[in-house]
């Protein structure tokens, strides 16, 4: 569910791959507790896998409807925001806690403004008026 349908599917797809890769790279580069690193690697890998499977412009296998993908976006946002406290690493891994919280808020924001009604069959050409309608 989107509040506004401002972002097209192709832009959302780019953001998905960027977020997935960034979560993994930052978690491994920064290091920290197993829970902190695991959050970035697991959520990042899942975001990448779902992106590969989604029926949208950069999907590879295209088996998962984009509207179903949206539920995964909201789940990823919730996991990123809650994980530091649920897995008890918020005080020891403050940098990753801040990064995951910001990433979760960003994922939520992008999800709220994405047009999830993407269809590769949709025609974006303007319709022409029929001759009978113009008389």
pLDDT of residue 7: 86
pLDDT of residue 127: 45
How do residues 62-93 score in pLDDT, each as one tens digit? 999 988 999 999 999 999 999 999 999 999 99
pLDDT of residue 122: 52
Averaged confidence pLDDT in the chain: 88
pLDDT of residue 132: 56
Burial 58-75 (b: 16+ CB within 10 A, else e): ebeeeebebeebbebbee
Instruction: Grade residue 55 by pLDDT with cuts at 50, 70 and 90.
Output: very high
Q: Which residues, other chains included, contact 21 with Cβ-Cβ below 8 Å and sequence gap of 6+?
A: 44, 48
Per DSSP, the three-state class of 64 is: strand
């Amino acid at each position: 569910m989107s509040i506004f349908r401002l972002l097209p599917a192709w832009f959302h797809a780019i953001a998905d791959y960027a977020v997935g890769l960034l979560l993994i790279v930052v978690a491994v580069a920064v290091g920290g507790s197993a829970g902190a690193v695991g959050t970035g690697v697991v959520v990042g890998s899942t975001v990448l896998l779902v992106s590969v499977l989604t029926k949208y412009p950069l999907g590879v296998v295209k088996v998962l409807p984009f509207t179903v993908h949206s539920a995964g976006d909201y789940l990823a946002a919730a996991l990123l925001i809650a994980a530091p406290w649920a897995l008890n690493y918020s005080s020891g891994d403050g940098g990753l806690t801040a990064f995951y919280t910001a990433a979760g808020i960003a994922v939520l924001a992008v999800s709220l403004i994405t047009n999830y009604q993407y269809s590769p069959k949709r025609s974006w050409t303007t319709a022409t008026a029929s001759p009978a309608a113009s008389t």
